[in-house]
Amino acid sequence: MDPHNDDIVHDFYPLLQVFKDGRIHRFRGIETVPASVDPATGVHSKDVKISDSVSARLYVPKSVDSDQKLPLLVYFHGGGFVIGTAFSPLYQTHLDFLVAQANVMVVSVDYRRAPEHPLPAAYEDSLEALHWIASHSRRSCPEPWLNEYADFESLFFAGDSAGANIAHNMAIRVGTEKPEGYNVEGIVLVHPYFWGREALSGEPVEPQSRDFLDRLWSFVKPSTIGLDDPWIDPSKDPSLSSLGCKRVMIFVAGKDVLKQRGLFYKEVLDKSGWGGIVEVVETKDEDHVFHLYNPTIDNAVSLVRSVASFVNE
Catalytic positions, please?
A: 161, 256, 288
Quick count: other Cβ atoms within 10 Å of Cβ 144? 11
DSSP state of 200: P
Burial class (CB in 10 A: 0-12, 13-18, 19+), 222: exposed
Burial class (CB in 10 A: 0-12, 13-18, 19+), 41: middle
* CA distance to 135, 152, 171, 243, 270, per residue, from 240 (Å): 26, 24, 10, 6, 10
Beta strand 150-160 pairing with 184-190: parallel
Q: Which of 234, 229, 226, 134 is nearest to 184 (CA)?
A: 134
Strands (E), 171-263: 184-190, 247-253
Quick count: other Cβ atoms within 10 Å of Cβ 228? 13
**What whole-number distance in Å separates Cα of residue 132 and Cα of residue 163?**
18
Hey, what's the torsion of the CAs at 257, 258, 259, 262, to 10 degrees? 170
